[in-house]
Amino acid sequence: MEKLIVKGPTPLKGEVTISGAKNAAVAILPATLLIDGVCTIENLPNISDIEISCTILERLGAKITRNSTNSITVDTRNITTTVAPIDLTSKFRASYYIIGAMLGRMGEIEVGMPGGCKLGARPIDQHIKGFELLGANVSVEKGKIYAKAKKLKGAPIYMDIVSVGATINIMLSAVLAKGTTIIDNAAKEPHIVDVANFLNTMGADIRGAGTDVIKINGVDKLSGNATYSVVPDQIEAGTFMLAAVATKGDLLIKNCITKHLESVTAKILEIGGNVEEYDDSIHVWCDTRPTKAIVKTLPYPGFPTDLQPQIGVVLSVADGTSIINESIWESRFQYTAELNKMGANITAQGKSAVFEGVDFLSGAPVYATDLRAGAALIIAGIIANGETELYNLDHIDRGYECIEEKFRKLGANIKRVVEE
């Protein structure tokens, strides 16, 4: 079993370069299945979810050439099966994008229920509703999803709730459908825009991504023969921004899109941090104890749920009593029990948590309860007195490229070891 050993407290200082966006890449890779041709994808994050995605594509018949650590060429001209490998699709949530892509390309798919972080109820009813409105028959039996359509036809689709996954999945299934599809009450996250940009680069006709109404005019085929670079990771950038504040550090965060980080910037300024924005980088520093705050997670452009545990660490040592209201995932607060082991004073109930700021955290053995909680606990270990041992690293490796190396270059005392 691997674990991270973190010794603190240490202020982080220096420069860090942000990798490609996980949430965009795990949708763009299945989207290649819609292409009757070859494409090259660059700025892919080197994380386990991407490796699994590539293996799924290969098992479906795609040929993948690994050009470098962060670049691949995908040839999807010869898809040989409509049965996705259940042993792999169960490993992460975004495997459900295979459904929309394969419905669009092959008109049929059998896939296991998606896995991923245990953040509470994560239904896919909005996905299924969209597929059915486009003309597919969908059934869920014995842990598998079966979807089939003779020919998908464009349709108006109103989303009952704002869902990033359903917005992307319906977009994938509608690209090759006959006629026009309009997704109303669509999610607006940056990675939705990135997936639409990728598809348009390959020959699709998608308009309005990034707004709450997306219009997809179906095309006959996507020919590919193009190169696309994945957008920088908004959540990784936000993680390092909050790490700078938590550790009273000084970081220049490079290769990021500052527009995507406005809600994080606003909250950092509110609690006493400093932020300077440049064209493709952001400078964050803090030399005082953060002040209390009220945070509510919301769909983009609101404060991201994927940065809630990280700001939770900041508020655990802030001056005063803070409150976080979680509006997306009801089990997002599992990490607070781990922070309390380190001396935090957090009371979590349902979708809210009260953070009574303490003077300091102390090192302790803790467990990453999900991907973002793992990143938050690394930050907690960096600011804590003494040694922290962090377990369940599989969660972290799903979404952060070389995370301990990046923190180490910023001055953190962190190492990965194999426990006998």
> How far lies 123's CA from each of 61, 163, 306, in Å?
29, 10, 18
- Residue 323 has φ and ψ, to the nearest 5°, of -130, 135
Q: By C-alpha distance, which of 223, 179, 233 is closest to 201?
A: 223
Q: Are 351 and 327 in contact (CB under 8 A)?
A: yes
Residue type, 243: A
Q: Are 102 and 169 in contact (CB under 8 A)?
A: no
Alpha-helix residue ranges (DSSP H) falling in 301-402: 308-316, 335-341, 371-383, 393-397
CB atoms within 10 A of CB 254: 16
Beta-bridged to residue 254, according to DSSP, are 17, 281
DSSP 155-184: -EEE-SS--HHHHHHHHHHHTTSBSEEEEE
Tokens at 219, concatenated: 């095309």
Place of tokens 């036809």: 153
User: Which residue in 39, 54, 117, 256 is the catalytic one?
Assistant: 117
Tokens at 407, concatenated: 């923190």
Tokens at 179, concatenated: 């006629």
Verify whether residue 117 is a known catalytic residue: yes
Q: Are 275 and 262 in contact (CB under 8 A)?
A: no
Residues in the chain: 420
Rounded CA-CA distance 272/289 in Å is: 8
Q: Are 104 and 174 in contact (CB under 8 A)?
A: yes
Q: Say how far residue 230 (Cα) sits from the centre of its chain.
A: 13
| Four-CA torsion 302, 306, 307, 312, nearest 10 degrees | 110
Q: Which residues are catalytic?
A: 117
